[in-house]
Amino acid sequence: MTDLNKALGDISSIRRQMARSTEFRGYGPATLAATGLFAVSAAAAQAKWLSDPVSHIAVYLAIWVSIAILSAALIATQMYARTRRIHSGMADEMIRMAAEQFLPSAVAGALITLVLFVYVPSALWMLPGLWQITFSLGVFSSCRFLPRPMVAAGVWYLFAGLFCIALGDARSLSPLMMGVPYGVGQLLVAAVLLFSRPEAEDET
């Protein structure tokens, strides 16, 4: 039984090493492009119905947190099905690896939002920039198992977030400060995945 357990442990270790050295193809370009359109739609809704987000910060947060949850649920659902189809026997390891890379930045973004909302409401104008910066860290962390040009998306989100913070006031709560970074950013991510060789073959 000891030899069997050791063999199973070795197999598990080999599978993990293979997962770490394999390009992850569980993210679908169409799904990621759709999340960019979600962001643009949310920005349009904010522009039409929430002209003063500073006075209605809870509504502002409800809009963008809802969009984030919807986007994450869509990506996770499609990623699960796609990974099962493309990576087959290594699907569980690949999904776990993807989650380990991106989840810390997502949790950090959620905790930052909670802390500012509860304890430092005067600093809530910084949230769009902080969201984009933490998102960029998730992208950078994931780059090692995604196509190399994905670094460009991380750079985009990083500088977009820094620009929002550089505004220094409630202008960062403008719908453009969320709609443009996430709309363009997610379309850029989708384009990188679509035009990388493995993804082009998958989509065909």
At 20 the pLDDT is 53
At 124 the pLDDT is 96
**Residue 18 within any structural domain of the chain:** no
Could you give the number of structural domains in the chain? 1
**Residue 6 within any structural domain of the chain:** no
**Residue 69 within any structural domain of the chain:** yes
**Residue 83 within any structural domain of the chain:** yes
**Residue 47 within any structural domain of the chain:** yes
Question: pTM value?
Answer: 0.86
At 144 the pLDDT is 83
**Residue 8 within any structural domain of the chain:** no
Q: What pLDDT tens digit does each residue of the chain (204 aa) get?
A: 565 444 444 445 544 554 454 667 888 999 999 999 999 999 999 999 999 999 999 999 999 999 999 999 999 999 888 888 886 667 778 788 888 889 999 999 999 999 999 999 999 999 999 999 999 999 999 988 888 899 999 999 999 999 999 999 999 999 999 999 999 999 999 999 998 855 444 544
At 89 the pLDDT is 66
At 45 the pLDDT is 95
**Residue 9 within any structural domain of the chain:** no
At 25 the pLDDT is 81
**Residue 204 within any structural domain of the chain:** no
Give, as one character, the DSSP assignment of residue 146: S
At 97 the pLDDT is 84
Structural domain for 151, as ranges: 29-198
**Closest to 193 (Cα-Cα) out of 8, 16, 5, 34:** 34
* Residue matched to tokens 């910066």: 133
**Closest to 79 (Cα-Cα) out of 65, 92, 63, 64:** 92
Distance of CA 67 to the CA centre of its chain: 12
